[in-house]
Amino acid sequence: MSKRAVRILLIVVVVLGGLFVAADRLAVNFAEGEAAEKLRTNEGLAEEPDVSIKGFPFLTQVAGGELDEVEVGIKDYDAKSGADSIRIADLEARMKGVKFSGDYSSATAATASGTARVSYDELLKASKSEPVDLPLGAQGKVIGLSDGGNGKIKVEVEVSKGGAKLPKPVHVLSSVRVEGDHIKVHADEIPKKLEVLGISIPLPEGMVRDVTDFDQKIDDLPAGIKLKSVEAAPDGVDMSVTGSNVSLTG
Of 91, 47, 55, 86, nearest to 72 by C-alpha is 91
pLDDT of residue 218: 85
pLDDT of residue 64: 79
pLDDT of residue 115: 94
Q: How far apart are CA 192 and CA 189, in angstroms?
A: 9
Write out the chain's pLDDT in tens, 250 residues: 555 444 444 544 444 444 456 676 777 888 888 888 888 887 778 888 898 888 888 878 887 788 888 898 999 888 876 667 889 999 999 989 988 776 666 778 899 999 999 999 999 988 888 888 888 888 889 999 999 999 999 999 988 877 777 778 889 999 999 998 899 999 999 888 877 667 777 888 888 899 999 998 887 787 778 899 999 999 999 999 998 888 766 5
Buried-state track 175-205, b at ≥16 Cβ within 10 A, e below 16: ebebeebbbbbebeebeeebebeeeebebee
AA identity, residue 224: G
Q: How many CB atoms lie within 10 A of CB 244?
A: 13
Q: In the chain, where do the E strands start and end?
A: 50-54, 66-81, 84-100, 107-119, 132-133, 138-149, 152-161, 164-165, 170-179, 182-187, 193-196, 199-202, 214-217, 226-233, 236-247
pLDDT of residue 250: 54
